[in-house]
């Protein structure tokens, strides 16, 4: 007779003990499976690994990443892109874009998928700009303060695509200004894609972000955005809206100057003198040959379209404005007309907001626009 058959033997209790442990282990496995069911319900589904943001400009048949130059007012659409790897090692892209180009390379149409409706996901749309419209740089430590920040736009929804909006936060306007959205300037975008375990979940289980502030400074070609320009002769200055004005001291040092040049080349900052010089060069004018004359603003002021045009300079002393458009008395240069002001950051101002006064205000005026053609002031 074996030990198992002997009443009171040890084999029976051992089997019962092992059976209890197997039951405990099975319950733990079940609890873990229930906790992570959304992740385990399909172990063969692609594994997300990176997010991107692509733009499709009106008239183009594909969306692409990177910084694009467009005319102000040209519509475009933003698309969130989630890169994932399949079990077989191939790469696919979840997006609503009809066709896709990333890093200058065409994505094969068969690699583009729509995000499955059964997996809850929300997209958070953001813009990326400098932390301040103006930064005085007296030393290297001042320049260390320069950074880019993200602004979340809940009003753009949480879907996988959104209409593109150019409205730089750094373009300082009065609260509630009817000029919003501005429609021109440098506007970068970022996206955060969040995956949730269920529609009722309050916090995401996973998230991925497209290239944002850090990438713009380290590798600006990776970030996506647009540079929307007004027609000539305002194209040069209008592109700079949304960038920080750097104001270096004369003795700031060579290393700081090199960093400043880098920020300007990345198109995250600008220098007033350089921007005005570029504006004049684009108009075919030499700064040393500008012909300033004193004019009186008001009902008898110079006529728009013949005596003054968009792009002309008006001001007093070192404070110069670039005329934008006729906003006050129709057809006459008057204090209510709008201009671009460089003081402590690029902004749109009424002339009388800069130079206090109304009728009888006298300023220096230098025509720089091409007088061979009469342009209609953009509205």
In which residue ranges of the chain is pLDDT below 50?
Answer: 1-8, 10, 33-41, 43, 371-379
Q: Provide the 8-state DSSP code for 360.
A: B
Q: What is the pTM of this model?
A: 0.82
Question: CA angle, corner 55, sides to 51 and 56, nearest 5?
Answer: 135
Tokens of 205: 């289980």
36-76 pLDDT per residue, tens: 444 444 545 789 999 999 999 999 999 999 999 999 999 99
Residue 325 and residue 226 in contact, taking contact as beta carbons nearer than 8 Å: no
Distance, C-alpha 285 to centroid of its chain: 32
Rounded Cα distance, 123 and 158, in Å: 5
Does 378 sit behind a cis peptide bond, omega within 30 degrees of 0 on the bond before it?
no
Three-state SS for 94-151 is ECCCCCEEECCEECCHHHEECCCCCCCEEEEEEEEEECCCEEEECCHHHHCCCCEEEE
The percent of the chain in helix, strand and coil, each rounded to the nearest 5, is 25, 35, 45
Strand partners, 322: 313, 340
In whole angstroms, how far apart are CA 161 and each of 124, 136, 304, 363, 379? 10, 38, 42, 48, 29
Rounded Cα distance, 216 and 268, in Å: 9
Rounded Cα distance, 246 and 248, in Å: 6
98-145 pLDDT per residue, tens: 999 999 999 999 999 999 988 899 999 999 999 999 999 999 999 999
Contacts of 286 (CB under 8 A, 6+ apart): 280
Helix (H) or strand (E) holding 313: strand 313-316
Tokens of 343: 């003081």
Residue 137 and residue 248 in contact, taking contact as beta carbons nearer than 8 Å: yes
Q: What pLDDT does 358 receive?
A: 54
Question: CA angle, corner 177, sides to 153 and 338, nearest 5?
Answer: 130
């Amino acid at each position: 007779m074996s030990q198992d058959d002997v009443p009171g033997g040890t084999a029976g209790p051992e089997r019962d003990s092992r059976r209890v442990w197997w039951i405990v282990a099975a319950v733990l496995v079940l609890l873990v499976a229930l906790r992570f069911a959304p992740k385990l319900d399909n172990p063969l589904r692609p594994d997300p690994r990176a997010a991107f943001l692509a733009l499709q400009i009106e008239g183009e048949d594909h969306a692409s990443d990177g910084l694009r130059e467009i005319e102000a007012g040209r519509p475009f659409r933003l698309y969130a892109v989630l890169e994932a790897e399949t079990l077989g090692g191939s790469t696919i892209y979840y997006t609503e874009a009809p066709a896709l180009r990333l890093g200058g390379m065409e994505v094969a149409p068969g690699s583009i998928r729509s995000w499955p409706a059964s997996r809850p996901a929300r997209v958070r749309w953001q813009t990326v700009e400098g932390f301040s419209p103006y930064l005085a740089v007296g030393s290297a430590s001042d320049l260390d303060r320069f950074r880019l920040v993200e602004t979340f736009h809940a009003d753009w929804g949480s879907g996988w695509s959104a209409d593109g909006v150019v409205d730089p936060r750094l373009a300082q306007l009065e609260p509630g200004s009817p000029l919003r959205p501005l429609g021109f300037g440098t506007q970068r975008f970022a996206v955060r894609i969040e995956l949730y375990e269920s529609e009722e979940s309050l916090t995401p289980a996973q998230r991925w972000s497209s290239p944002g502030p850090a990438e713009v400074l380290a590798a600006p070609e990776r970030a996506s955005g647009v540079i929307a320009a007004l027609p000539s002769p305002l194209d040069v200055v209008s592109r700079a809206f949304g960038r920080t004005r750097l104001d270096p001291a004369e003795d700031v040092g060579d290393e700081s100057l090199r960093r400043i040049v880098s920020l300007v080349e990345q198109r995250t900052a600008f220098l007033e003198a350089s921007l005005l010089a570029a504006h004049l060069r684009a108009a075919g004018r030499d700064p040393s040959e500008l012909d300033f004359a004193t004019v009186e603003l008001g009902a008898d002021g110079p006529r728009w379209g013949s005596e003054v045009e968009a792009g002309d300079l008006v001001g007093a002393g070192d404070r110069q404005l670039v005329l934008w458009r006729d906003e006050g008395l129709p057809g006459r240069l008057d204090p209510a007309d709008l201009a671009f002001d460089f003081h402590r950051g690029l902004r749109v101002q009424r002339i009388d907001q800069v130079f206090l006064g109304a009728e009888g205000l006298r300023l220096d005026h230098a025509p720089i626009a091409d007088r061979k053609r009469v342009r209609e002031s953009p509205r």
